């Protein structure tokens, strides 16, 4: 078996080296008159540079490349680089996670930002979910891989994602309209218009409307689940009073709503599945009747049918039965002011932002089943302001490019949950407790709200940084940077209401009511970078860098962050003696736990090279990386509780290779592969044993994409477009709470269309997951059902047509 595994791995690596794509042919320079690959311009070092000259592993994509790859939002970002992936489950604010090179924040937590920083128009976004809405008027995307300890030092221990909006232009009136329609009744319509108002002022406005049915169908009603409808608008004003001053104002608003996001597939059935299935199909008249049916003493037909149907067990059918009218509503809006001013011999840049991000979920089904056990309501609100100042200049005496900067941000968080028992909770819990030898009726789970929770906090950041690039000579550079950060955070939890019944289910289980808390923490850290860069020829650049990355600690905002019932002495000691002795052995109360978690730190080493050859018709970029991590933050959902753990040590190392070949003037072949032989937590008795000394979650040993692009002119006014892509991921662990695995997956995507350059018309058909593979992105322990797991599947086959017209 081991030999077979090694053979398959070798074949996958060989196939990847032949067929994997590099989509960095994005944000390209204007059309070249000479043959060869177009130059790619990036801003990873806070100045415009050729990607091949930057000593950072970067993938870039312009708007058209993103559209062809169907990267409508961050959810499908792996289509442009196998080194980066995205996961989201039931609520985007807590579970949207970006992962680069196997490293990133994993699991569910309301409390902290991800290890991959998201920056939109230079503004840091505290939740990756901010990039989950469909992109509107985006000009380009850049993925910076590896810790960005200086210039993007806030919470970027794994990397950074940079999104830039198309800027208003003073040159002429222009615009574009694009409509996409596909299966699952998917419709996306977007458009943008640019209008100069004078020789110094320009205005640009863009809008988007989209809707889509979810992939899941309710097996009882036939209605789609996990659907979505989004409306968005973005307006910009550009003011250039002189060649030394530019002011750009950006205002945007996005609103989405739908039935989201609790339709999942059964992954592993636990011992409670027969109970769940019976309650899905029948409504008992009493617990005694239900227990008799479970024991085989009474026929199931003696109970009243619910009218609900069991979903198909085959995950490829995408069926689920849920209760409630689950609805999610998301609002994301704000304003940004960008100022570039020539000051002395350099440029002073200011980025000012105010943002509001809210999520409201109502009447959802958190037992993920057709049994009507309990419902769920959750809200999240973030008010965020930030200010960054940078000064770019040259220091002639040192022959250096320099960036100096200051950063400040202030976020206020407000969250809440309410949890009502539904009309089958009592029957379910009587069955569970009966299996434990407890008499029916002992546990109280009558319908109605049993808890209302309030959570929230604040996060303030202060930082100063400097980054210098010294040109020792025309071939050799030394790069050095430093950033000093102060992070102040507060988190609190309390129950606005808890049903005062000592035999409530969660009380007997020892989970709640848990202790309230209001805690603060302050972290101070020095991060930075040191590197060397060598250009032996104009077509070769070699580099070696060290980066010290830092991600702030904080306070876990969750009902059980300070412990469980036994840590809530006042309530625990007030329980009737019979309950304390019968369920807890009269164990003494304990002090509340510390809800704080530590900052995450990484020492990252990278050696790489960027090469152009074959008269500029081929490009290869390669990077070796090694990360030594301490106190790595892990968010974990363990069925009822959201915990934050710090793994004392971890190591992550591997190799990336990106290739792009211009086979003909019209045909390019891209090759990308990421090999991570080791991404593992150290042995640590302080974290869950399922994680100690195990591989990172969502970190396959090998990932690769493969893209062949054709843009073939037929005549002066007609070109044929074609694109074929293969995406491969090897086996990977997909749950932070278990050892659940997803086996190797290969997806094939394709596009075919034509464009009329003179008229600005493009028509393109597309298909994603051509062979309709069924696979899973993440699994989790099903709430209240010990031993049971559900999973979120990847998208099935989708297809459609895209029409774009520009003027």
Cα–Cα distance, 388 to 63 (Å, whole number): 26
Cα–Cα distance, 49 to 659 (Å, whole number): 19
Mean per-residue pLDDT of the chain: 91
Cα–Cα distance, 174 to 179 (Å, whole number): 17
Cα–Cα distance, 21 to 673 (Å, whole number): 8
pLDDT greater at residue 94 or residue 521: 521
Q: Reduced to 3 states, what is the DSSP secondary structure of residue 581?
A: helix
Mean pLDDT computed over 251-268 = 93
> Is it the case that residue 30 has pLDDT exceeding 50?
no
Cα–Cα distance, 667 to 708 (Å, whole number): 7
**pLDDT given for residue 128 in this prediction:** 75
State the distance between the two ends of the chain, measured CA to CA, in whole angstroms. Answer: 59
pLDDT digits (tens, 9 = 90+) for 744-787: 999 999 999 999 988 889 999 999 999 999 999 999 999 889 89
Cα–Cα distance, 520 to 501 (Å, whole number): 32
**pLDDT given for residue 44 in this prediction:** 85
Letter string b/e over residues 566-586, b meaning 16 or more CB atoms within 10 A of that residue's CB: bbbeebbeebeeebbeebbee
CB of 657 within 8 A of CB of 621?
yes
% of the chain at pLDDT higher than 90: 80
> Is it the case that residue 35 has pLDDT exceeding 50?
yes
**pLDDT given for residue 101 in this prediction:** 95
Cα–Cα distance, 16 to 14 (Å, whole number): 5
**pLDDT given for residue 307 in this prediction:** 94
CB of 83 within 8 A of CB of 703?
yes
Confidence of residue 563 (pLDDT cuts 50, 70, 90): very high
Beta carbons within 8 Å of 438's beta carbon, 6+ residues apart: none
Confidence of residue 10 (pLDDT cuts 50, 70, 90): very low
**pLDDT given for residue 23 in this prediction:** 37
Q: Reduced to 3 states, what is the DSSP secondary structure of residue 166?
A: coil
> Is it the case that residue 213 has pLDDT exceeding 90?
yes
Residue 635: both structure tokens together: 């968010």
pLDDT digits (tens, 9 = 90+) for 220-259: 999 999 999 999 999 999 999 999 999 999 999 999 999 8
Cα–Cα distance, 803 to 764 (Å, whole number): 6
Cα–Cα distance, 780 to 716 (Å, whole number): 55
% of the chain at pLDDT higher than 70: 95
Cα–Cα distance, 654 to 19 (Å, whole number): 20
CB of 85 within 8 A of CB of 105?
no
The DSSP 8-state label assigned to residue 695 in this structure reads B
Confidence of residue 3 (pLDDT cuts 50, 70, 90): very low
pLDDT digits (tens, 9 = 90+) for 319-369: 999 998 889 999 999 999 999 999 999 999 999 999 999 999 999 999 999
Max Cα–Cα distance, the chain, nearest Å: 92
What are the phi and psi torsion angles at 583 (to 5°)?
-105, -25
Beta carbons within 8 Å of 609's beta carbon, 6+ residues apart: 540, 541, 542, 543, 621, 622
Neighbouring C-beta atoms of residue 717, cutoff 10 Å:
12
Q: For 499-539, list the strands marked E by DSSP.
A: 517-537
Cβ neighbourhood burial of 635 (10 Å; 0-12, 13-18, 19+): buried
**pLDDT given for residue 24 in this prediction:** 38
Mean pLDDT computed over 543-564 = 94
Residue 459: both structure tokens together: 């996060």
CA 361 to chain centre: 19
Kindly list the distances between the CA atom of residue 123 and the CA atoms of 85, 355, 380, 552, 717, in Å, as whole numbers in the listed order. Answer: 21, 10, 20, 18, 40
To the nearest 10°, the Cα dihedral for 388, 389, 394, 395? -110
CB of 319 within 8 A of CB of 793?
no
pLDDT digits (tens, 9 = 90+) for 39-89: 888 988 888 889 999 999 999 999 889 988 999 888 889 999 999 998 888
Beta carbons within 8 Å of 297's beta carbon, 6+ residues apart: none
CB of 748 within 8 A of CB of 726?
yes
Beta carbons within 8 Å of 574's beta carbon, 6+ residues apart: none
Residue tagged 């009269």 (tokens): 586
DSSP 609-659: EEEEETTTTEEEEEEEEEEEEEEEEEEEE-SS-EEEEEEEEEEEEEEEEEE
Kindly list the distances between the CA atom of residue 642 and the CA atoms of 236, 554, 561, in Å, as whole numbers in the listed order. Answer: 40, 15, 8
Contacts 24+ apart (CB under 8 A), 184-189: 184/212, 184/213, 184/214, 184/215, 184/224, 184/798, 185/211, 185/212, 185/213, 186/210, 186/211, 186/212, 186/213, 186/798, 186/800, 187/211, 187/212, 188/72, 188/134
Cα–Cα distance, 605 to 585 (Å, whole number): 53
**pLDDT given for residue 38 in this prediction:** 87
> Is it the case that residue 33 has pLDDT exceeding 80?
no
**pLDDT given for residue 13 in this prediction:** 35
> Is it the case that residue 153 has pLDDT exceeding 90?
no
Mean pLDDT computed over 541-559 = 94
CB of 113 within 8 A of CB of 155?
yes
**Which domains does the chain possess?**
2-794 (2.40.170.20)
Cα–Cα distance, 40 to 54 (Å, whole number): 11
**pLDDT given for residue 31 in this prediction:** 40
> Is it the case that residue 21 has pLDDT exceeding 90?
no
pLDDT digits (tens, 9 = 90+) for 661-675: 999 999 999 999 999
pLDDT digits (tens, 9 = 90+) for 612-640: 999 999 999 999 999 999 999 988 877 66
DSSP 257-318: EES-S---EEEE--TTHHHHHHHHHEE-S-HHHHHHHHTTSS-GGGSEE-S--PPPS-GGG-
**pLDDT given for residue 640 in this prediction:** 66
Beta carbons within 8 Å of 615's beta carbon, 6+ residues apart: 35, 36
> Is it the case that residue 29 has pLDDT exceeding 50?
no
Residue 329: both structure tokens together: 């509503």
pTM exceeding the 0.85 threshold for the entire prediction: yes
CA-based nearest residue to 163, from 212, 134, 116, 123: 123
**pLDDT given for residue 34 in this prediction:** 53
**pLDDT given for residue 805 in this prediction:** 95
Confidence of residue 182 (pLDDT cuts 50, 70, 90): very high
Cα–Cα distance, 764 to 560 (Å, whole number): 51
> Is it the case that residue 18 has pLDDT exceeding 80?
no
Kindly list the distances between the CA atom of residue 727 and the CA atoms of 4, 77, 363, 390, 721, in Å, as whole numbers in the listed order. Answer: 22, 12, 37, 39, 20
Cβ neighbourhood burial of 216 (10 Å; 0-12, 13-18, 19+): buried
pLDDT digits (tens, 9 = 90+) for 489-510: 999 999 999 999 999 999 999 9
Neighbouring C-beta atoms of residue 300, cutoff 10 Å:
15
> Is it the case that residue 19 has pLDDT exceeding 50?
no
- Positive or negative, the Cα torsion across 68, 71, 76, 82? positive
Residue tagged 């604040």 (tokens): 458
Residue 36: both structure tokens together: 């060869």
**pLDDT given for residue 639 in this prediction:** 60
Cα–Cα distance, 339 to 239 (Å, whole number): 10
Q: How many degrees, rounded to 5, is the angle at CA 459 between CA 454 and CA 463? A: 175
**pLDDT given for residue 577 in this prediction:** 92
CA 533 to chain centre: 32
Alpha helices (H) in 502-551, listed in sequence order: 505-508
- Positive or negative, the Cα torsion across 279, 282, 285, 290? negative
């Amino acid at each position: 078996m081991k030999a077979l595994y090694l053979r398959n791995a070798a074949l996958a690596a060989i196939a990847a080296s032949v067929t994997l794509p590099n989509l960095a042919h994005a944000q390209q320079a204007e059309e070249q008159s000479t043959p060869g690959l177009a130059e790619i311009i990036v801003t990873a070092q806070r100045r415009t540079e050729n990607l091949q000259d930057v000593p950072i592993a970067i993938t870039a994509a312009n708007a058209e490349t993103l559209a062809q790859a169907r990267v409508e939002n961050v959810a499908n970002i792996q289509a442009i680089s196998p080194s980066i992936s995205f996961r989201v489950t039931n609520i985007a604010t807590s579970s949207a996670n970006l992962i680069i090179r196997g490293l990133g924040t994993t699991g569910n937590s309301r409390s902290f930002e991800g290890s991959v920083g998201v920056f939109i128009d230079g503004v840091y976004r505290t939740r990756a979910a901010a990039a989950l809405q469909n992109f509107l008027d985006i000009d380009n995307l850049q993925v910076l891989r590896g810790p960005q300890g200086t210039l993007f030092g806030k919470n970027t221990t794994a990397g950074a994602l940079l999104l830039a909006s198309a800027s208003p232009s003073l040159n002429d009136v222009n615009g574009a309209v694009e409509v996409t329609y596909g299966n699952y009744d998917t419709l996306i319509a977007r458009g943008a218009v640019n209008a100069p108002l004078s020789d110094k002022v320009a205005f640009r406005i863009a809008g988007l409307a989209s809707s889509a049915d979810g992939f899941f169908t309710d097996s009882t009603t036939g209605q789609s689940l996990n659907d979505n409808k989004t409306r968005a608008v973005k307006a910009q004003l550009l003011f250039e009073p002189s060649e030394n001053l530019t002011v750009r104002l950006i205002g945007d608003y996005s609103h989405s709503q739908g039935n989201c996001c609790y339709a999942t597939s059964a992954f592993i059935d636990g011992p409670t599945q027969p109970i769940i299935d019976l309650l899905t199909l029948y409504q008992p008249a009493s617990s005694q009747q239900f227990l008799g049916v479970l024991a085989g003493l009474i026929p199931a037909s003696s109970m009243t049918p619910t009218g609900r149907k069991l979903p198909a067990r085959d995950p490829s059918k995408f069926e689920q039965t849920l209760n409630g009218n689950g609805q999610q509503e998301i609002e994301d809006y704000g304003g940004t002011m960008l100022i570039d001013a020539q000051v002395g011999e350099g440029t002073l840049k200011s980025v000012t932002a105010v943002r509001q991000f809210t999520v409201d979920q109502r009447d959802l089904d958190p037992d993920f089943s057709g049994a009507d056990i309990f419902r769920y309501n959750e809200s999240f609100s973030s008010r965020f302001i930030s200010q960054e100042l940078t000064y770019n200049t040259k220091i002639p005496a040192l022959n250096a490019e320099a960036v100096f900067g200051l950063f400040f941000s202030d976020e206020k968080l407000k969250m809440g949950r309410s949890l009502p028992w539904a009309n089958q909770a009592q029957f379910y819990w009587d069955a569970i407790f009966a299996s434990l030898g407890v008499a029916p009726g002992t546990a109280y789970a009558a319908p109605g709200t049993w808890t209302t929770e309030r959570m929230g906090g604040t996060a303030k950041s202060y930082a100063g940084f400097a980054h210098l690039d010294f040109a020792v000579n025309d071939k050799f550079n030394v790069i050095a940077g430093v950033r000093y950060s102060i992070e102040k955070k507060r988190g609190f939890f309390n129950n606005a209401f808890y049903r005062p019944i000592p035999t409530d289910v969660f009380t007997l289980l020892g989970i709640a009511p848990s202790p309230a808390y209001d805690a603060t923490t302050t972290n101070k850290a020095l991060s930075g970078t040191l590197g060397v860069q060598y250009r032996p020829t104009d077509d070769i650049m070699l580099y070696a860098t060290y980066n010290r990355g830092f991600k702030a600690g904080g306070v876990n905002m969750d009902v059980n962050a300070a412990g469980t019932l036994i840590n809530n002495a006042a309530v625990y000691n007030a329980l009737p003696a019979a309950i304390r002795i019968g369920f807890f052995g009269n164990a003494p109360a304990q002090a509340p736990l510390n809800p704080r978690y530590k900052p995450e730190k990484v020492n990252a080493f990278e050696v790489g090279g960027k090469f152009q050859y074959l008269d500029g018709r081929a490009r290869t970029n390669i990077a070796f990386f090694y990360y030594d991590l301490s106190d790595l933050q892990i968010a974990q959902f363990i069925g009822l509780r959201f915990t934050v753990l710090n793994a004392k040590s971890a190591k992550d190392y591997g190799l990336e290779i990106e290739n792009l070949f211009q086979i003909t003037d019209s045909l390019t072949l891209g090759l990308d592969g990421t090999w991570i032989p080791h991404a593992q937590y150290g042995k640590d008795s302080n974290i869950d044993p399922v994680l100690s000394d195990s591989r990172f979650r969502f970190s396959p040993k090998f990932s690769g994409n493969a893209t062949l692009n054709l843009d073939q002119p037929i005549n002066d006014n007609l070109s044929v477009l074609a694109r074929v892509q293969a995406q491969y991921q090897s086996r990977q662990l997909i749950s932070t709470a278990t050892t659940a695995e997803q086996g190797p997956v290969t997806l094939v995507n394709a596009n075919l269309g034509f464009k009329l350059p003179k008229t600005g018309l493009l028509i393109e058909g597309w298909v994603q997951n051509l062979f309709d593979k069924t696979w899973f992105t993440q699994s989790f322990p099903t709430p209240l059902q010990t031993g049971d797991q559900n999973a979120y599947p990847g998208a099935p086959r989708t297809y459609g047509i895209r029409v774009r017209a520009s003027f």
